[in-house]
Structure 1
């Protein structure tokens, strides 16, 4: 579905992770814009959320609407290839819940007269890269790994059916949406139509499939690289991401080692046996087999995203840990252990508690709904109080 040139204003839920990013990415007024004029409206820049070689990403707001702007710099030849590339791909793959939403495209005129091309995007929250940093070398819960794996595989299934290869899947390009409570893919600057690869160097070191590594080496030597890589490179990258989420450690040096190249399956087995006491056995085996199906050196033997979603790992119901609820921002405010059983069985007291809770929550925003369960699960807890700021 092609994206229109305008955009639909969209209210954002509280952005806890974005606020944290703002603290570490304070705006440098000499190199970052303070305002953007987007379709006749002035948007204030609050923070620079990320900066790469070709583009910077900012958190911006206009009134109560908060979004992200990706501002592209001119390439080495003074052109706008990066902007044209990403806007073209994003415009054609809109409509899937696990892919970042593109609201529109515009040109920004700086005070010194320099024009830059920009994308107005959905503002997302914490990245898988951030989650790995906070893991402190301990693996994430099965619920979190399963949630991320399913969301990314559903995005890849859609993307691959449309004929596109993401070509830069990594923890930094998988972000959590507090509003939609799911993970989404971002950054399609290296993406291409399968069979029509128009970028020589794809994927990031540490998440690069063997065939992409070989292709990059040939390109550096000035040699012909053949027909290009396939959708299988995305599955390799996801396999590494999930292995890092399970182990809690970055594996860049591991996957560059000769031991990995000789027998990566044995290293995967070793990583899982080392964490065997932390997780239930059966889910661990299913996750291990799912990851190994993505890490065959031969791309033709790798699982597809569609087939990977049929793994027994996704048939097991997991519940989030309290650490997961802290790590992932959500529009649902959950208050625990605030009342005792005596209040639950007296109708008058129960209604009073409901009113008291609603009044307290309204200090922070509009309460969309509120529920205090009288029976398990959740008995005595105030849950599903959705507070929008």
Structure 2
């Protein structure tokens, strides 16, 4: 049990979503951390690795965050903690990189001390999105959103001279409040040309040159000057190919066929998927992915160049499944209101008041909109003060009946709602 701590840093803002690093054993987690002189209850262990565990913590309904607690390493030092802290402190301020709120030392009841990072709490990971999509693959809207956000993060990171070195679906998470994907886990990151980590990247997302370097290190041999930022582009190329195909590609990228002609395999993946709609965006995505998956790192696209791909100039609408999976502060209620109620002003005003009263049970409502005409005719759009409130409302309203109808509750992009842009979502 955590008994106390010494802390430093700034307080987190009040609302953040749910970091998801995969299922982990819930035993032996601390009951609380004392952070900045305040008791934070541990709600769940979100992930556990060799060197650290990540917990969701809360100091009451208004404050949630993530704590990454590092184990003392075999040499009795805090190298992993100092490494990740120094990288995060150096790259703070980009919207597509997880926010570090502060650092503290936790003292447990056994007299041991552990170093901790207090981090922004995020939502669903791309790893979980891949599981939910099974073999269907994701919509072009989600793929484009994820690709752009990660490339923006990499472009910034690479300009600062850093290589992430462990890009994988589990390290790309959705932020409900900021409505974008963010990079996490900088434990293997290093300054280009100053690689201080022997074994880098995760199997299945490892660039060929990193594979070679890891093999040399295992044999006790020295490689060349180290891997460049190009390894991050390789990892992202594999992630996007998995998001498009809905298939895990670990065995594929290990195969001799892939090593001999990866371009033909990418062509086959794209040709074998039935796509409804125009083919040109699909070709742009295929070419973007190919530009990241050259076996020669010198021929691989840079993050900045990839952001100029024509794939990013095409507007896509989200599928309804996308709006169920990716939380935002705006909730959209379907199957609630009959058309005939919309044209009787008195009935319409009553419905607006009833809906507002119902939705305020779950959190502070900033605005509520029920369009009388298409697009969005008869749908209810509810903007909450935070994504935490909209998530609670979505959970409790889904499947409820309103005027004898079963309610369908999805999230809705805050940016589109603010602009008054109501998507005709693809079913």
TM range (shorter): over 0.9
Give SS of 1:97's match.
coil
| 1:58 pairs with 2:61 | no
Pick one of 327, 330, 338 that aligns with 1:329.
327
Residues 26, 47 of structure 1: 8 Å contact kept = no
Instruction: Give, in whole Å, the separation in 2 of the partners of 1:14 and 1:157.
Output: 25
Per the alignment, residue 189 of structure 2 pairs with: 191
CA deviation digits over 1:299-355, x for unaligned, max 9?
A: 111111111111111111111111111111222111113223333334333322221
CA deviation digits over 1:204-261, x for unaligned, max 9?
A: 0110101111111111122221211111000000000000001101100100011111
Instruction: Give, in whole Å, the separation in 1 of the partners of 2:375 and 2:193.
Output: 51
Residues 361, 387 of structure 1: 8 Å contact kept = no
Per the alignment, residue 405 of structure 2 pairs with: none
1:1-389 equivalent positions in 2, closer than 5 A:
5-12=8-15, 15=18, 24-25=23-24, 27-28=26-27, 31-63=28-60, 64-278=62-276, 280-386=278-384, 388=386, 389=389
Instruction: Give, in whole Å, the separation in 2 of the partners of 1:314 and 1:38.
Output: 42
Residues 339, 380 of structure 1: 8 Å contact kept = yes
CA deviation digits over 1:31-87, x for unaligned, max 9?
A: 321110112111100100000000000000012201000000011211111000000
Instruction: Give, in whole Å, the separation in 2 of the partners of 1:376 and 1:340.
Output: 14
Give SS of 1:285's match.
helix
Residues 14, 331 of structure 1: 8 Å contact kept = no
Instruction: Give, in whole Å, the separation in 1 of the partners of 2:207 and 2:253.
Output: 10
CA deviation digits over 1:342-377, x for unaligned, max 9?
A: 333343333222211110101111111111123322
Instruction: Give, in whole Å, the separation in 1 of the partners of 2:9 and 2:41.
Output: 19
Instruction: Give, in whole Å, the separation in 1 of the partners of 2:255 and 2:16.
Output: 43
Per the alignment, residue 406 of structure 2 pairs with: none
CA deviation digits over 1:131-187, x for unaligned, max 9?
A: 111112111111111111011011111111111110000000001111111110000
Instruction: Give, in whole Å, the separation in 2 of the partners of 1:364 and 1:62.
Output: 19
Aligned residues: 380
Instruction: Give, in whole Å, the separation in 1 of the partners of 2:17 and 2:373.
Output: 30
Instruction: Give, in whole Å, the separation in 2 of the partners of 1:348 and 1:143.
Output: 39
Residues 366, 385 of structure 2: 8 Å contact kept = yes
Instruction: Give, in whole Å, the separation in 1 of the partners of 2:149 and 2:227.
Output: 23
Give SS of 1:119's match.
strand
Residues 72, 78 of structure 2: 8 Å contact kept = yes
* TM-score, normalised by the number of residues in structure 2: 0.86
Structure 1 window deviating more from structure 2 (351-360 vs 106-115): it is 351-360
CA 1:156–1:14: 2 relative to 1, 3 Å: closer
What is the Cα-based RMSD across aligned positions, in Å?
1.8
1:278: Cα distance to partner? 4.7
Give SS of 1:369's match.
strand
1:25: Cα distance to partner? 4.2
CA deviation digits over 1:6-52, x for unaligned, max 9?
A: 1233122565x86x97xx54631xx3211101121111001000000
